[in-house]
Copies of this chain bind each other. A is one copy, B any other.
Amino acid sequence: MSRPDEEFRSRPSRLATRLAEEGLFACVLEYFENLRASHVRWLSGHPMDAILVLAASGESVLVPWDVNMAAERARVDRVVPYTDFKRSYKEAVASVLRSLGLPEDAKVEFLPRTSHLRYEELRRELPGTAIVARGDGIDAILSRMRSRKDAAEITALERAASITDEVLDLVEREVRSRSAGSLREVDVAQLVEREALARGAEGTGFETLAAGPARSWGIHAFPPYTAGPFGGAGLSILDFGVKVDGYTTDVTATFARGPLSPDRERMLSLVQAAYDAAVAAVKPGAAPQAPAIAADQVFEAAGWKMPHALGHGIGLDSHEAPLLRSTGENPERELASGMVFTIEPGLYHPDLGGVRLENDVLIDGRGAAPAARVLTRSRLVRLG
In the bound complex, residues from chain B placing their C-beta under 8 Å from that of A307 are 66-67, 83
- The answer to whether A223 and B198 touch across the interface, beta carbons within 8 angstroms, is no
Report the separation of the CA atoms of residues A319 and B32 in the bound assembly, to the nearest whole angstrom: 13
Instruction: Collect the chain B residues with CB atoms within 8 Å of residue A68's CB.
Output: 217-218, 348, 350
Q: Could you mark each residue 334-359 of chain A with 1 if its beta carbon is under 8 Å from any beta carbon of chain B, else 0? A: 00000000000000101000000000
Give residues of chain A (181-213) contacting chain B, Cβ–Cβ below 8 Å.
186, 190, 193-194, 197-198, 200, 202-203
* A222 close to B119 (CB less than 8 A): no
Chain B residues within 8 Å of A263, by CB:
none
- In the complex, whether A14 has a CB less than 8 A from a CB of chain B is no
Q: Whole-angstrom distance between the alpha carbons of A87 and B194 in the complex?
A: 36
Nearest chain B CB to A112 CB, angstrom units: 5
Known: A66-B218, A190-B194. A114 touches B112 (CB 8 A): no
Contact B113–A133 (Cβ < 8 Å): no
Interface presence of A86 (CB below 8 A)? yes
Q: Which residues of B contact A186 (CB under 8 A)?
A: 193-194, 197
Q: Is the CB of B328 within 8 A of A218?
A: no
Chain B residues lying within 8 Å of A280, measured Cβ to Cβ, are: none
Instruction: Say yes or no: A203 contacts B223, CB within 8 Å.
Output: yes
**Chain A 77-91 interface mask (CB, 8 Å, partner B; 1/0):** 000000100111000
Q: Choose among B133, B200, B225, B319 the residue that contacts A116 (Cβ–Cβ < 8 A).
A: B133
B116 and A115 form a contact (CB under 8 A): yes
Quick one: closest B residue to A134, CB to CB? Answer: B117
A contacts with B, residue count (CB < 8 A): 50
Please, which residues of chain B bring their CB within 8 A of the CB of A35? 34
Q: Which residues 38-95 of A sit at the B interface, judged by CB distance below 8 A?
A: 47-48, 65-69, 71, 83, 86-88
Which of A115, A219, A223, A348 counts the most B-chain CB atoms under 10 A from its CB? A115
With A and B bound together, what is the CA distance between A217 and B70 in angstroms? Answer: 12
A226: CB under 8 A from chain B?
A: yes
Q: Which residues of A contact B (CB under 8 A)?
A: 33-35, 47-48, 65-69, 71, 83, 86-88, 112-117, 119, 133-135, 186, 190, 193-194, 197-198, 200, 202-203, 217-220, 222-227, 307, 319, 327-328, 348, 350
Q: List 29 A-B contacts (CB under 8 A).
A: A34-B35, A47-B222, A48-B220, A65-B219, A66-B220, A66-B307, A68-B217, A68-B218, A71-B350, A83-B307, A86-B327, A86-B328, A88-B328, A113-B115, A114-B116, A115-B115, A115-B116, A115-B133, A116-B119, A116-B133, A117-B134, A186-B193, A186-B197, A190-B190, A197-B226, A197-B227, A200-B227, A202-B223, A202-B226
